[in-house]
Structures are given as C-alpha cells and as structure tokens.
Structure 1
C-alpha cells in the first residue's frame, strides 16, 4: 500500500488523493476508488487521475522502459455505461479497426458498476463476484451466508471480521487504540530486550523481547476487547489467542480486586 496522494507538478495544480494506491511484487501500480454518487465528467476525471499517476512513476531523466503498468479500478454505485448490462467493463488502448492490436498494455481502466451486479450467493463464479457480493450485502448478511463466504476465501473472511469488529465497537476509534497499545507494548518488550541483552547477549535478548512483546501486546488487546464484551470467537480470530487462554483472561477481567480492610 502506497501514499494515496499523487504529487503535484505545479503549485497551482489540483491535488489528487486516491482511496487506495498499491504496488505489486512486479512493480505495477494499482489505484482503487469507490464512487458512491454520479459525478459530472466522471470518465474524464478517472482518465486525469490515471494520467497523473502514470506520469509520476518515473523521475526526470529516467528511461521510459522503467514505466510500470498502471491499473485503475473504479467501483461505482450508479449506472455509468448506458449501452451495456455488464457490470465489469475494461478499457485499453487498442486499434479501432483491429482490436487485437494493442498499442501498449501499460494502461488498463476498470469500471465496476455495483448496481448491475445482481448475482445471489449460490451463483458466484469467481473471486471478483465474491467480493462484489460481500461489498453489496455486508450490512444484511446472515450468519450462514457469512460462513459460506468465509469458506470461499480467507481474505473475505478477514474483511468480514474487520467489519464485524468495527460495527460491534461503540466507538470505532477504539480499534486504533487497541492496536496502538499493542504496538507500544511490543516496542516496550524489544527495548527491554536490548537492556537485558547487555548481560544475556544481544541476540538472545532481542529474541526474548520480541516474543514477550508480542505476547503482552496480544493479551492487552484481548483484555481491552473482553472489557467491551466483544464476541470471544471474534477476539480469538483477531488476536490468535486460544479460546482456553481467552477464558482465563476473562476470569481476570471479571475478578474484582478485594478491598483492603483496615484493622
């Protein structure tokens, strides 16, 4: 995942910010946008964003052969193309009289029209359809439907769990607090390892610190979730802590400290 901001070439130039900008292991660039409402000149805007991103892939003086492929994926919640019922349209640079001839494969723009996608759960034929179904139905999916989707794809399972987690939390910002605490605990464990490493050996200290930091981070994250009464299975999936260990942590959460009696 890269910085979604496209650099400006001039001071007066309009700043462009994408929803998601990413690079794969081959160096190709992908940008993804979700568009909820119809917008005037949407096609020109899409091409403008693509061209800015394409032109920013190499520095002045670099060879053109270093320019990667740039893919644009636009998920729109409105009917964009009037002359087709297909929900997924792909645009490339091709010769008009002979579409088999392609000028270059460096340009590819995908328009995915969510309103035209009407498949049911049993009729999903590929990964894209599974994702589109999840995106459209996530707020109304029943438990059995979720389980069916999760079996189809580990990535969809991860996405559904993330949505469930945020929706169960009273304040979604607490999600970031959990992970911030986890990161602090993790770093604290590593720092402690460096200190003890002077006596035990740096390598051994680091290994112990990393292990201790990870364990402590997971436990503190789990305790925070348990206090918020989140589902124990969901906590197990997020933290990786076993149900047995989570039940032990639950006992600690439920155990109220005894008040001291002054004699």
Structure 2
C-alpha cells in the first residue's frame, strides 16, 4: 500500500531541519552519494525565507556532515534557463563564505551540490546526472593524480576529491519503475508516495514523519493551501505560454518572411508576457519564462 506524504520541498522547509529527522536526509544522501552520510548540523541557507522562495517555488537546505563537508540540496520547480550557471555560483559562494580567514587554500571545504529539478533542464534522456572535475591529458589521455605528498597531507586519492561534485535529478524524466533503492527515493520525490515494499535508507522514517495525516490541523491547512497555490500558478503559467505561443504564431505567419519569423518569436514572448500580466503573475517569473527584461515587461503593463 502506498501512503500519501508531504512533498520533499515542504519537508525540507518544515520537518527535515529538526535533528530528530536527520536520518531521513542521511538516508537520501547515502543512497545518492554512495557512501554513508552522517549530518552534524543544518546550516542557514539563502533560500530559507517564506515569501521569496514560495514565489519562485525554490527551496534549499545546507548541511554539514561529520567530515566537515558541505552538502547543498536545492529543489526547483519553475523553469530557469540559467540554472546551470546558478549551480556553479552556489558552490563558489559556499566555498568563499566558509573558508577560514587566513586559513589558506588547504581549508577550502568540499561541496556536494544536489539539485532536484521539476522542469526540463538541458537536453538528455537520463533522470540522474553526475558531474565532477578531472584533469585529462590532451596528448596522453591520462588523468592527473595527486603526488604522494599531496595524498598524505590532504588525505585524498584523486584530485577531483577537492572540487565540488554535482548531482542533477530530473524528476519528471523518471519512468516510475524503481529498479534500485535510489530509484525508490526518486519515486517518492516525483509522486510523494512510498510503497510498503521500498527499503531504501531513510524511507522508513520518511513514511512516518512525512505523513500528511500526522500533521496538526494548522500545519495541514497551510500545506494544502500551499499545494493548491502551486498547482494554480503552474496552471496559469501553462495557460499563459499556450495562449502566447498561439497568438505569436498567428502574427508570425502573417509576416511570412525571415524578418517576420524573428518578429513572430518576439511577438510570442510579448503575448506570453501580456497573458501572464493579466493573470497577475509576478514580473520576475514572467521574465524567466519569456526571456524579456523586467523593463520590457513593465512597458507592457
């Protein structure tokens, strides 16, 4: 039997920051990173405010493990064309913020960037992607490795152990067939349900702690209202895109020539923006989905 649970982004905001529930996060990260993760503490993260994150459907959580490494988990619902850039910025910012003043480069912290996205990020057929930094010889095709002294001093076997590692979970690409324990977690992230037969680490506690029915009346009311608002906003965005594309295609066809096609593309963006404005969607979100600048959108109001 599958049980309906709160969404993982809600859990990250309201439940998983409590020490009693660290085991849920530890289970997820252990299955994903393929080594045992023990969380020491949850640190303050930039997207830990109610208003702005709810507006952009973005939640993040920053944890420190027993090795003093940083793990940034971010959930993004809305499409964001420069998301790859923001991933890089996020890890660079963390490294700079957490290096000890006067400590030297050897004090640079290891960062794991875990990105759970509910939109079509990039192009690819898989639903889990992994990125790391290796230095490959242009001629010999060998991988540059640490010297014996570096291995001893820094307790590393490979150079890439120093650099940030990136994980991208394209949740909507998952086919709902859990072939392993990590897939069981992906299934939960996509469907907000856990099958009784699942045995991935952390899911047993998640099944109990994230049960919607176990929320008090106030928390359940807030959660349900938030989910309704999110679904309504997604519907508005979908409608705005469809209406704008339809209007833009009509105008583009009327132009006919190459210049007309370019104008048609611009017209589509403008029509999407106009429809979004009528639906009271905020300007920053409209800019994200159309590519128009904030000033261009304001001029349409």
TM-score (structure 2 length as normaliser) = 0.46
Shift of 1:153: 3.7
Query: Residue 64 of structure 1 corresponds to which residue in structure 2?
Result: 105
Query: Residue 155 of structure 2 corresponds to which residue in structure 1?
Result: none
Other structure's SS at 1:54 match:
helix
Task: Select 2:168's aligned residue among 105, 111, 120.
Answer: 111
Q: Which structure has the larger Rg?
A: 1
TM-score (structure 1 length as normaliser) = 0.52
Shift of 1:41: 0.8
Query: Residue 81 of structure 2 corresponds to which residue in structure 1?
Result: 40
- In 1, distance between residues paired with 2:70 and 2:120? 26
- In 2, distance between residues paired with 1:74 and 1:135? 12
Shift of 1:119: 3.6
List gaps (5 residues or longer) in structure 1.
7-16, 176-263
Query: Residue 207 of structure 1 corresponds to which residue in structure 2?
Result: none
Q: Is the 8 A contact 1:58 1:67 kept in 2?
A: yes
1:186-210: CA deviation from partner (whole Å, max 9, x where unpaired):
xxxxxxxxxxxxxxxxxxxxxxxxx
Q: Is the 8 A contact 2:59 2:76 kept in 1?
A: no
Query: Residue 207 of structure 2 corresponds to which residue in structure 1?
Result: 160
1:64-99: CA deviation from partner (whole Å, max 9, x where unpaired):
2222210100000112121x2111111222235448
Query: Residue 137 of structure 1 corresponds to which residue in structure 2?
Result: 191
Shift of 1:124: 2.5
Task: Select 1:146's aligned residue among 190, 195, 199.
Answer: 195
Q: Is the 8 A contact 1:166 1:172 kept in 2?
A: no
1:24 equivalent in alignment to 2:65? yes
Shift of 1:168: 5.4
For the structure 1 residues 95 and 146, does the alpha-carbon distance in structure 2 shift closer, same or farther, using more than 3 Å as the test? same
- In 2, distance between residues paired with 1:28 and 1:168? 32
List gaps (5 residues or longer) in structure 2.
1-41, 48-57, 146-158, 223-301
Other structure's SS at 2:189 match:
helix
Q: Is the 8 A contact 1:76 1:113 kept in 2?
A: yes
